[in-house]
Amino acid sequence: MKKTLTGVVTSDKANKSLRVEIERRYRHARYGKIVRGRTVCHVHDEGNTASQGDVVEIIESRPRSKTKRWDLVRVVKAAMKEA
């Protein structure tokens, strides 16, 4: 089974590539405080369908470059566009 994650697109400047941040919350091991962490994934977007601010679902794939190891599955929620 390939992993699927949901995150927010933080950059769509490159052609057919996205930068997606997956936010997580966890309890600090020593102090017990709830802290926020994030994981950054570089995603292949064949059709250039997603844009900055969109919530997207991604799936694990073969390595496409030095950092790209994820594929775009679908755009879960489109970002609000400014007029």
Query: Tens digit of pLDDT for each residue in 3-52?
Result: 999 999 999 999 999 999 999 999 999 999 999 999 999 999 999 999 99
* Confidence class for position 80, pLDDT limits 50, 70, 90: confident
Does a structural domain hold residue 51? yes
Query: Tens digit of pLDDT for each residue in 44-69?
Result: 999 999 999 999 999 999 999 999 99
Q: What is the CATH number of the domain that holds 39?
A: 2.40.50.140
Q: Look up the domain containing 30 and give its range.
A: 4-77
- Beta carbons within 10 angstroms of residue 60's beta carbon: 13
Strands (DSSP E) contained in the chain are: 4-11, 17-27, 34-44, 55-60, 68-77
pLDDT given for residue 57 in this prediction: 98
- Beta carbons within 10 angstroms of residue 71's beta carbon: 16
Does a structural domain hold residue 53? yes
Under 8 Å between Cβ of 44 and 62: no
Does a structural domain hold residue 83? no
Alpha carbons 2 and 7: distance in angstroms, whole number: 16
Domain count within the chain: 1
Does a structural domain hold residue 82? no
Does a structural domain hold residue 71? yes
